Amino acid sequence: MGLVTLVGLGLRFHDYGVAPGFLDNADELQFSFAGLNLLAHGDAYTWSYFKSYPPGDLLQAYGTTFPMVHHWMDHPPGFSLLMGVYLWLLGQRDMTALSPEVVRIPPVLFATATIPLVHLLARRPLGAPAALAGAVVLATGPGAVLLSRQAEPESVMAPLFLVAVLLAARLAGRRGAWLTGTALVAICVLEPFFKVTGVAVGAVAALILAVNARWAWGVACVLGAAAGIGLYLVYGALVDWSLLWRIVAEQALNRHGVMAAFAFIAEPTGVNRRLRDGWWLLGWIGAGLWLFHSRRSDAERLLAWPLFAYAAAIAVLAGEQLTAQYGWYHVMVLPFVYMAAGNLAWRAFVEPSPARLLAVLVLGGAMATEYWLGSAGSSWIPDPALLVVILALVVAPSALVAVPALAPLRGYARLIAGLALGFVVLGNVMTSLGLADTFARM
């Protein structure tokens, strides 16, 4: 597991200042500006396009123009403060002299922490081999590697979400003491203080506890999530109460209909560019398997429930158009989704069947090899006959072993499936190493 984590760390740091481009998502600068200025001047001075703020100055920096505002409150101040403290400790004082190599170190480290946490969370409900497979997919998947480099609130919220589920499971099993419960409630407070969608963590923890009759701690988690929102409101009241509510009202205009969760799952969302992440889609298919365990099973409570609860939070709180555009919304639950994809891939190896193998190959496998084996140009037209032959060579043995007389070939079918899946993981690594070129072609 240590080796897998190191590989994930290395892939995330490779060319991390190049892909994505620094201005492909200027939110990284938005939070950094706000945090530095909040510490230095007591004013979260940064850029915003919201019209609720009084007109401000125009800042020329980083080759573009930023419309600056005072007392920025587009989001709770938690993540801005985190970035501000980090940059301040590094001696950064000039908001016009930041670099992606500096700003992106915290999200890369937070994302790397999710790799062993996924393994730890998945071991009990899925088994150690499937948990390791999920960690490998998360460590090497190009989509996960790319999105992990974004200095967004979701970067710190993701590992905290995993820790919250682990702590809730421990309390639910009556193995935790006051220290465990206190840490869990603290996370439920912190998550919405980073971003309001973090209220889902309190709901997730509360249900895990409630189904095991840990009512007091469940209520404490709900109250903790409410307290996190309360901290945001207190901050707004201290800064400018009327301005806060004008911003909230303007943000509400981004919401249209109830299809935000659909866009969250189905749209090819990247860093303001299209990211066709086959592992992401495969993971949602794999998560469907968890829904058919018993309602009190660990897979249902600890893996499926957090994933779909967060999708519900997106449906309620997020704008459909923004959800289809901002891939960093995925980061919060990306470990759960990739865990599901890895579990499905492991099942395809242990019990190979044509459907299981094709699901992995045409989604995760395609993502892993599209930019690695394709041409350097923007389009690639592979020979369809060659693709049919390759797929047949991988899938045919698993179909043949369904015949009782050919059952002894099961070991051979598993070997072929293992080689194919190993090749897919290699494709993950090679594509992740080439993300600077890949991102330029998205």
Among candidate residues 108, 103, 306, 85, the one with its CA nearest the CA of residue 198: 306
Among candidate residues 1, 12, 3, 2, the one with its CA nearest the CA of residue 428: 12
Task: Give the pTM.
Answer: 0.94
Task: Say which DSSP state 295 is in.
Answer: T
Please answer whether residues 431 and 372 qualify as being in contact, where contact means their C-beta atoms are separated by less than 8 angstroms.
Answer: yes
Task: Specify the pLDDT at position 387.
Answer: 82
Rounded to whole angstroms, the Cα distance separating 148 from 144 reads: 6
Note the pLDDT tens digit of each residue in 260-269.
888 888 888 7
Note the pLDDT tens digit of each residue in 363-414.
999 888 887 776 544 566 777 888 888 888 888 787 777 766 666 777 788 8
Does residue 295 carry a pLDDT above 60? no
Does residue 32 carry a pLDDT above 70? yes
pLDDT-above-90 percentage for the chain: 65
Element (H, E) at 60: strand 58-61
Give residues with Cβ within 8 angstroms of 48, minimum separation 6: 30, 67, 69, 72, 74
Residue type, 231: L
Note the pLDDT tens digit of each residue in 241-287.
999 999 999 988 887 778 888 888 888 877 877 888 999 999 999 99
Task: Specify the pLDDT at position 376.
Answer: 46
Note the pLDDT tens digit of each residue in 326-353.
788 999 999 999 999 999 999 989 888 8
DSSP states along 3-34: HHHHHHHHHHHTTTTTSS-TTTTTHHHHHHHH
